[in-house]
Amino acid sequence: MTDYPYFAFIDESGTLAKDPNQPIFAIGLLLVDDTTRILQELQSIKAQAISGTGSKGKLFEFKFKGITRGNYKYYQKLLDVALSFPQLRICVFIMDKRNPKIQIDSHFNSTWDAYLSYTKLVIRKNVPTDRKVIVLADYITKPSENPRFFEPEIRALAQVENVTLLESDSSLFIQLIDVLTGSVVYKFRHRTSEKLEVNKSKMRVADYLMEKFGKSEFAESFMVHKPLYFSVWEFNP
């Protein structure tokens, strides 16, 4: 085991509030112990995407919701890069709020308190207590009336050395976990919603990732170790 900490990149998808249009909530966790080589390759794919789509550099960002017919192939290349680094560890925590057992209002004073609790849970379950992490999370606005700040709450975990929040456009790693998480969420959204219109380009990216892990189904809990560690954890209280 190395002495230096993981970088833990975190991104959330959806909302914990009651919203029938957003039934799925997810937290994605990407653990990276050495960013140098993978960042160079991610930057290369971004440059290709900017050139190939005619985007201005400062305006282009990899986000699952931004997948289109004209750019989905660059998202697939992004996934190829990630999966070529077996030292990466990825976990996607999924909550289907259509599950009648999930009663967020009964257990938490607010959705912000719930978000803090579930983020801590994801870190505790995926990072050994003897391994340290530096958390870099996608920026999320704290409700002004809630006294609990994200950074000290997460920093209180035994595994966490320090925490910061970043805008996603400043980190290709946050963009990467956004795409990975979005791919899983998209599969879960369509698991029991046959009436939902399918975006073919987004589904191509989600299917591409699923096939890379040799899976015929993504909308379920599972864990694989090749080509790298990837787990989907469906919360079921």
Ramachandran bin of 139, using left for φ above 0, alpha for ψ from -120 to 50, beta for the remaining angles: beta
Query: What does the pLDDT read at residue 55?
Result: 79
For residue 73, the surrounding DSSP H or E stretch is helix 72-83
Query: What does the pLDDT read at residue 149?
Result: 97
Domains of the chain and any CATH numbers = 6-234 (3.30.420.10)
For residue 166, the surrounding DSSP H or E stretch is strand 160-166
- Between CA 32 and CA 134 the distance in angstroms is 10
User: How do residues 168-178 score in pLDDT, each as one tens digit?
Assistant: 999 999 999 99
- Between CA 129 and CA 184 the distance in angstroms is 27
Task: Classify the C-alpha dihedral 16-20-21-24 as positive or negative.
Answer: positive
Query: What does the pLDDT read at residue 59?
Result: 77
- Between CA 27 and CA 233 the distance in angstroms is 10
- Between CA 13 and CA 25 the distance in angstroms is 6
User: How do residues 92-140 score in pLDDT, each as one tens digit?
Assistant: 999 999 999 999 999 999 999 999 999 999 999 999 888 999 999 999 9
**Residues 79, 208: contact at Cβ < 8 Å?**
yes
The parts of the chain modelled with pLDDT lower than 70 are 1-2, 56-58, 193-194
Query: What does the pLDDT read at residue 1?
Result: 46
Query: What does the pLDDT read at residue 54?
Result: 84
Query: What does the pLDDT read at residue 57?
Result: 57
- Between CA 211 and CA 206 the distance in angstroms is 9
Fill in the amino acid letter for 7: F
